[in-house]
Structure 1
Amino acid sequence: MEITASLQTQPETPQKASRTATIWSLVSSILINGVLPFIIYILLTNYTNTSELLALVASGVPPLLESIVGILRRKRIDVLAGISLAGITASLIIALLGGSPKIYLIRESFFTAIFGLVFLVTLLFSRPLMFYFSRHFATGNHPKNIPWFDSLWQYRGFRISMRVMTTVWGIGFLLEAAIRIYLVFALSTEQFLIVSPFIIYGIIGILATWTFFYSRAGRKKSEAIRQSMLVQQNVSPAPDA
């Protein structure tokens, strides 16, 4: 009965994202992290005596402000905000040390590579990193829902799915870093500033889409198991709402 009860228990405050809000968030993020930095860089390098490195540092101001506003609004640091803030911190250090523009441009790739390695390293621990990310979004970070999500760890299929997702995201971050580092040296600064946002958002978009369908398939399988257990116990399942 304990397994059935756990499977039947649902989070009290599920987090539902509006499609329109999601699309708007993506568009605004591309504008702030891609279009504005490119415009700032072009204006400073073409119409002022600002050096290329300082122009690149100035182009990081819009993403910095977006990250700070996002953290204050959500009261948490998500993956993208963490990468952005880490990159901006590295930017300031590089600027102070008089680093080259090429080194400046690969700063975020360095941190996405670290994130990728961290994801893969956590596979060696009792619970991989994706478990904690999934718990945050699945429960809405509501304290009453966390025990429900934690109880799912007892199921082998759930444990496998968390490890698979952690592996895929870790490899995805490493791939993103490798592509961006290659393009830094293969393209001009202007060309890289144009394509760079599409690389990170493209790869994360692919990973998020894959995670959505992979998780949905897992939920369908879990629901089928739940229905089967209820039938075996001669309990009529409640009709879907």
Structure 2
Amino acid sequence: MSSPAATLTAPVAEAAPLAPRKALVDSLKPLLVDVALPLAAYYALKAAGLSTFGALAWSSVVPAVRTVWGAVRERRLNGLAALMVSVNAVSLLLGLVSGDPRLMLLKDSGVSSIIGLAFLVTALRGRPMLSAGLRPWLTRGEAAKTAAWERLSAGSPDFRRAEIRFSAIWGGALLTECALRAAGAYTVPVETMVWAGTVLMVVSMVLAFLVSGRFGVVPMERMIAAEAEAPSER
């Protein structure tokens, strides 16, 4: 027969491992709502037979509402939601242009340029947008690592520089890809550029992943691990 103390503490012990998981889910919610949901809605609507224009328009509803709601009620701009609205708006405008296959090839370049510019501008302003998506993966919902991130982001110049480098590298990679695809759209045969554009995208993503990992993620991981362990060493 278990003691009253054991009975009271058992649920707490069982629930404890769920806390990091819940924290991770909570930190991922902005990405899921502002990025994953609109993308999933777009492809689902396309599969259901809706036109590209209609799918883009309807998939923009959630991020558009969140952008307006944040601006009106919270008096702040929801960066990820606003970015998705901007990307879809450009896609809709470019989608209205028909007849020239080379202009249609520029559509993806236009989208990449907006995303890359947003990453680069927020990095140069010292408020890197990609940090919101990077934080859940580096902290994994662990309280010690989350607290370490907060302290480092608020008071460590080295950590802030690593955050900025990460977003700047991705922004630069996307803008470079955009410039190359735009140039290729009018200098390379359309049939060639259709597959070459995909190759450019894959190469730029792989390079951005490797370089940003080396100069952004790795230093940040080390600083977070050291900061998270520091309190227990004192």
TM-score of the superposition, structure 2-length normalised? 0.54
**Is residue 153 from structure 1 mapped to residue 153 from structure 2 by the alignment?**
yes
**Is residue 89 from structure 1 mapped to residue 89 from structure 2 by the alignment?**
no
**Whole-angstrom distance in 2 between the partners of 1:123 and 1:225:** 23
**Whole-angstrom distance in 1 between the partners of 2:213 and 2:103:** 35
**Whole-angstrom distance in 1 between the partners of 2:152 and 2:92:** 38
**Whole-angstrom distance in 2 between the partners of 1:147 and 1:94:** 49
The alpha-carbon deviation at position 111 of structure 1 amounts to 2.6
Q: Match for 2:97: what amino acid?
A: I
Tell me how many residue pairs correspond in the alignment: 174
The alpha-carbon deviation at position 133 of structure 1 amounts to 2.6
* Alpha-carbon distance change, 181 to 124 in structure 1, aligned in 2, over 3 angstroms: closer
* Alpha-carbon distance change, 106 to 160 in structure 1, aligned in 2, over 3 angstroms: same
Specify the alignment match of 1:134 in structure 2: 134
Residue pair 2:169, 2:212 contacting (<8 A) in 1 also: no
For 1:54-73, what aligned pairs fall within 5 Å after superposition?
A: none
**Whole-angstrom distance in 2 between the partners of 1:190 and 1:110:** 20
Q: Match for 2:162: what amino acid?
A: S
TM-score of the superposition, structure 1-length normalised? 0.53
* Alpha-carbon distance change, 124 to 164 in structure 1, aligned in 2, over 3 angstroms: closer
**Whole-angstrom distance in 2 between the partners of 1:137 and 1:82:** 25
Specify the alignment match of 1:218 in structure 2: 220
SS of the residue 1:128 aligns to: coil
**Whole-angstrom distance in 1 between the partners of 2:23 and 2:135:** 13
Residue pair 1:131, 1:162 contacting (<8 A) in 2 also: yes
Specify the alignment match of 2:191 in structure 1: 190
**Whole-angstrom distance in 2 between the partners of 1:82 and 1:207:** 24
SS of the residue 1:163 aligns to: helix
The alpha-carbon deviation at position 164 of structure 1 amounts to 1.0
Residue pair 1:13, 1:139 contacting (<8 A) in 2 also: no
**Identical positions, percent:** 18
Residue by residue over 1:138-174, the C-alpha shift from the partner in whole angstroms, topping out at 9 and shown as x without a partner, is 56799xx977744441232221111111211121111
SS of the residue 2:97 aligns to: helix
* Alpha-carbon distance change, 116 to 141 in structure 1, aligned in 2, over 3 angstroms: farther
In structure 1, the gaps of 5 or more residues are 1-9, 16-31, 33-59, 234-241
Q: CA RMSD in A?
A: 4.5
Residue pair 1:120, 1:170 contacting (<8 A) in 2 also: yes
* Alpha-carbon distance change, 200 to 81 in structure 1, aligned in 2, over 3 angstroms: farther
**Whole-angstrom distance in 2 between the partners of 1:141 and 1:90:** 39
SS of the residue 2:153 aligns to: helix
**Whole-angstrom distance in 1 between the partners of 2:225 and 2:136:** 21
**Whole-angstrom distance in 2 between the partners of 1:136 and 1:82:** 23
User: Which of structures 1 and 2 has the larger relative contact order (alpha carbons within 8 angstroms, sep 6+)?
Assistant: 1
**Whole-angstrom distance in 2 between the partners of 1:174 and 1:111:** 10
Q: Match for 2:113: what amino acid?
A: A
User: Which structure has greater helix proportion?
Assistant: 2
For 1:226-237, what aligned pairs fall within 5 Å after superposition?
A: 227=229, 230-231=232-233, 233=234
The alpha-carbon deviation at position 193 of structure 1 amounts to 0.8
The alpha-carbon deviation at position 191 of structure 1 amounts to 0.8
Residue pair 1:172, 1:207 contacting (<8 A) in 2 also: yes
Bigger Cα displacement from structure 2, 184-193 vs 204-213: 204-213
Residue by residue over 1:108-130, the C-alpha shift from the partner in whole angstroms, topping out at 9 and shown as x without a partner, is 21232222222222235452212
Residue by residue over 1:8-66, the C-alpha shift from the partner in whole angstroms, topping out at 9 and shown as x without a partner, is xx776558xxxxxxxxxxxxxxxx9xxxxxxxxxxxxxxxxxxxxxxxxxxx96xx98x
Residue pair 1:84, 1:108 contacting (<8 A) in 2 also: no
Q: Match for 1:210: what amino acid?
A: V
